[in-house]
Amino acid sequence: MSATMTILFGTVIVSLIAFRDRRLFVGMLFEPFVVASRNQWYRTVSHAFIHADLPHLFVNMFVLYMFGPRVETFLGALTGMNSAMMMTSLYVSAAVVASIPAFHKHRFDPNYRSLGASGAVSAVLFAHILMFPTSPVYLFLLPVPIPSMLFGALYLGLEWYMDKRGGDGVAHDAHFFGAIYGVLFTAIAEPGLVFRFGSFESSVIG
């Protein structure tokens, strides 16, 4: 089984168990105050394996399913390294990096907590965008294909705006920084992608 599918099924199983087990759920939440005061750094990763409800879980896992396998395959092909190892490294490190802004902002706030794989999934999505910038992306409510790089620009702009506005209970900062990290991780893994942005896709498809 690929790393993508292992992560996906693992997240679904853990999330479903956590829905019924309140102690497990609370123990896996990302709580910056608890992380800082008790050195429970595992929470920077564990929060990505639990979700608020079924729709939250479905959306994240759907995006991972749609883009993760291709990203995993081409990370291995681009770097010459084990594709499962590269995908796991991207996903886990993205979960950590995406939580850093909230940690610095809320480490003295005992009431702040967050959960979900959105930061890590955003990293996978934006790794795909860097690899395949003209591939179409379809939105749930808009069945019209949007070029990946245009979708990426709109996504970043919206998440930045929503984070600054605040008040909706969504960790938009994790989405934004996860996405940026996905691009940086992929660019560092294969710097040539940046210099042949767009041409790589045509050479792969053709």
Reported residue count of the chain is 206
User: Number of folded domains in the chain?
Assistant: 1
pLDDT of res. 149? 86
The DSSP result for 29-46, as a single string, is SB-HHHHHHH--TTHHHH
Taking 50 as the pLDDT cut, the residues of the chain under it are 199-200, 202-206
**Predicted model pTM:** 0.89
Those residues whose C-beta lies under 8 Å from the C-beta of residue 77, and which sit 6 or more positions away, are 83
pLDDT at 205: 38
Q: Which domain holds residue 82?
A: 3-205
Task: Supply the pLDDT for residue 94.
Answer: 98
Residue 146 has phi, psi (to 5 degrees) of -120, 130
To 10 degrees, the CA torsion angle through 160, 164, 168, 169? 80
3-state secondary structure of 2: coil
Instruction: Please tell me the predicted confidence (pLDDT) of residue 140.
Output: 59
Q: What is the CATH number for 83? A: 1.20.1540.10
